[in-house]
Chain A
Amino acid sequence: MKIMHCPLNGPRNISEFVHGGEVKAMPDPANCTDHDWADYVFYTDNKAGVVVEWWLHAPSSYWFIAERHTVTDDIIRTYDPSEVFKQRVEFSTESDVSTEAGQMKLKGVGA
């Protein structure tokens, strides 16, 4: 069985994990166009090479980020999302895109 390293639980069988899709910035649901929202929900880079993705360790409901190679099937690095998201991302339907902090949240990047 292929092993994935869970940042919380250590090495585990890959069958314990669920693939969650590409890490990408979420547009503001309240203000973005339908096209932007569809682009975010459905369209993918689907790269052949190194990708950065959300993964879930199902038994412990723990989400983390994995970098892996989609051609060689190598898992390069796994890490806690706090490495990327320095502050809590609020998913409010109210718009706060006017502020710089709001913009940062939407881009999914911390300081």
Chain B
Amino acid sequence: MPFSLLKYGLNKDYPFELDADLPRPTDLKSSYDVVIIGGGGHGVATAYYLAKYHGITNVAVLEKGYLGGGNTARNTAVIRSNYLTPEGVRFYSQSVEMFKDLSNEFDFNIMYSERGQLTLAHTDATVRAFRQRAEVNKHFGGRTELIGPDEIRELVPTLNMNPAHLPVLAGLWHKDGATARHDAVAWGYAKGATQRGVELHQLTEVTDVVVDNGRVTAIKTNRGTVKCGCAIQAVAGHSSLMAAKAGFRMPITTYPLQAMVTQPVKPFLDPLVSSSALHCYVQQTSRGEIVFGGGSDPYPLYNTRSTLELKESLLAHAIEMFPFMADLRLMRQWAGITDMTSDYSPIMGLSPVENYYLDAGWGTWGFKSTPICGKTMAELVASGGKVPALIAPFSMDRFDAFRQVNEMGATAASH
């Protein structure tokens, strides 16, 4: 082991030189206009757009671990807008548009790569649902169409067209489907936000939310208490726990989601391929590794352990789709804890506490929405609580009005 590495490892100081693009850590100020709880992609994107579009820079992002170390660093980076509901498609397609320009905007390569996403139908009912999704998508300007087995064979020659005795009848071909380097998205936003004066405080855990007369007045952390004009929670899997500190409950249950990656192989798979009947999606990274993901764990947990059961069931299906993969070795496995809503749509906007805003319920599908979440949450905060039309359907009180935005079929196994 190089001596410098050993010295580095034994150093007591926080290794700030690793974040050469970020300012050195400072003490917390006694008060901020806006406190953002959670330094994942959503938190730093909100800070970035607050500074960039609204000139609001007296902002602190408080992160208990390190920048983007939550689900932002754990997701499989599927970016797409082929949802089912008009509310969903409208929202996600704006995010996809923003993604296309992020590398330019940051002057930093987020490795955005538009490969297209292919979802397989094995039953007539799925074919019918795909027709509807294709039409809704086209209506809102997306590039999505229903294709038959011949075109599927052409797009993915290595695919077994009769996996697990479930013949592939058709596919939903979404040309806008893409992937990007998830860490780079968090770094780009954090760099842009801090350059404009936002403070990012890592290793700063929010321990309580002080609510006085229905308004949040201060945020308590392990490094002291800060007063705030308003606060936003963007803590993904920890959403219910943070809401409890602010004194309310949410319609959320936290489940682990696992994923894994193989050793690198030669490029053979361009599109992202998924099948909800097989509870599985497969994609090849630009390094050649094959990423596998599937549905959530079967029961709620706040634990990122991996299980053999999930691996067995997921890989059995992946190997049905691409039999030659049976010879590959897994390199890494991991999990994140995800804040699931019952309708597979997010919870964004107002909360029961007047100046406390929610960006939650992102479950297994919130990486793709990072840019549009940041932009709309910033608008919400800057306007003092005027909910942007784009996110109005995702308000928490939709559940009280029984007005869910059902995206389950378009989300469960594709994220």
Interface set of A (CB-CB < 8 Å, partner B): 1-2, 14-15, 18-19, 34-35, 38-39, 42-48, 51, 70-73
Residue of B nearest to A18 (CB): B298
Contacts of A2 in B (CB 8 A): 307, 309
Is A43 in contact with B402, judged by CB distance below 8 angstroms?
A: no
The answer to whether B253 touches A46, judged by C-beta atoms less than 8 angstroms apart, is: yes
Cβ A45 vs Cβ B307 within 8 A: no
- Do B252 and A44 have beta carbons less than 8 Å apart? yes
Residues of A within 8 A of B250 (CB): 43-44, 46
Interface pair B240/A46, CB less than 8 Å apart: yes
Which chain B residues in 237-267 approach chain A with CB under 8 Å? Answer: 240-241, 244, 249-254
| Whole-angstrom CA separation of A44 from B400 in the bound complex | 13
Q: Is B342 an interface residue (CB 8 A)?
A: yes
In the complex, the answer to whether B303 meets A34 with C-beta atoms within 8 Å is no
| Size of B's binding interface in residues, CB under 8 A | 24
Chain B residues with Cβ below 8 Å from A42 are 251, 342, 399
CB contact under 8 A between A46 and B254, given known A2-B307, A19-B298, A70-B302: yes
Give 20 A-B contacts (CB < 8 Å), ordered by A residue: A19-B299, A19-B300, A34-B400, A34-B402, A35-B400, A38-B399, A38-B402, A39-B400, A42-B251, A43-B250, A43-B399, A44-B251, A45-B244, A46-B249, A46-B253, A51-B300, A70-B303, A71-B301, A71-B302, A73-B305
B125 at the A interface (CB under 8 A): no
A18, A19, A38, A46: the one within 8 Å of B400 (CB): A38
A43 to B342, CA, bound (A): 10
Q: Which residues of A contact B308 (CB under 8 A)?
A: 1
> Is B253 a contact of A70 with CB atoms below 8 Å?
no
Cβ-defined contact, A48 with B302, below 8 A: yes
Could you tell me the distance between the alpha carbons of A43 and B305 in the complex, rounded to whole angstroms? 26
**Contact bitstring B1-27, A, C-beta under 8 A = 1, else 0:** 000000000000000000000000000
- Are A72 and B298 closer than 8 Å at their CB atoms? no
Please state if A1 and B309 are interface contacts (CB–CB under 8 Å).
yes
State whether B301 touches A73 (Cβ < 8 A): yes
Q: Are A73 and B402 also in contact (CB < 8 A) when A44-B250, A46-B240 are?
A: no
Cβ B400 vs Cβ A73 within 8 A: no
Q: Which residue of chain B is the closest to A13 with respect to CB atoms?
A: B309
- A20: nearest chain-B partner, CB-CB: B299
B240 in contact with A71 (CB, 8 Å): no
Specify which chain A residues have a CB less than 8 angstroms from the CB of B300 in the assembled complex: 19, 46, 51, 70
Most buried by A among B253, B299, B308: B299
Q: Smallest distance from the beta carbon of B224 to chain A beta carbons, Å?
A: 24
Contact B241 A48 (CB under 8 A): yes
Query: Given the complex, which residues of A lie within 8 Å of B249, measured CB to CB?
Result: 39, 43-46
Once the chains are docked, how many angstroms separate the CA of A72 from the CA of B301?
A: 8
Q: How distant is A38 from chain B, measured CB to nearest CB, in Å?
A: 4
Contact indicator per residue, chain B 291-324, by CB within 8 Å of chain A (1) or not (0): 0000000111111010111000000000000000
Mark B41-80 against chain A: 1 for CB-CB distance below 8 A, else 0: 0000000000000000000000000000000000000000
Q: Which 8 A-B pairs have the closest CB atoms?
A: A46-B240, A42-B251, A19-B299, A48-B302, A42-B399, A38-B400, A43-B249, A71-B302
B251 / chain A contacts, CB cutoff of 8 Å:
42-44
Other-chain residue from B240, B301, B400 in contact with A45 (beta carbon distance below 8 A): B240
Within 8 A of A (CB), among B328-342: 342
CB distance from B147 to the nearest CB of A (A): 35
Question: Once the chains are docked, how many angstroms separate the CA of A44 from the CA of B240?
Answer: 8
Chain B positions within 8 Å of A18 at CB level: 298
| Bound: A19/B252 CA distance, A | 15
What chain A residues lie within 8 Å of B303 (beta carbons)?
A: 70-73
Minimum Cβ distance to chain B for residue A65 (Å)? 14
Q: Give A34 to B398 CA distance when docked, in angstroms.
A: 12
- Residues of B with C-beta under 8 A to A47: 240
B307 (CB) vs chain A CBs: closest residue = A2
In the complex, besides A43-B251, A44-B240, A51-B300, 19 extra interface pairs with C-beta distance below 8 angstroms are: A2-B307, A15-B309, A34-B401, A35-B400, A38-B399, A38-B401, A38-B402, A39-B249, A42-B342, A42-B399, A44-B250, A44-B253, A45-B249, A46-B240, A46-B254, A46-B300, A47-B240, A70-B254, A70-B301
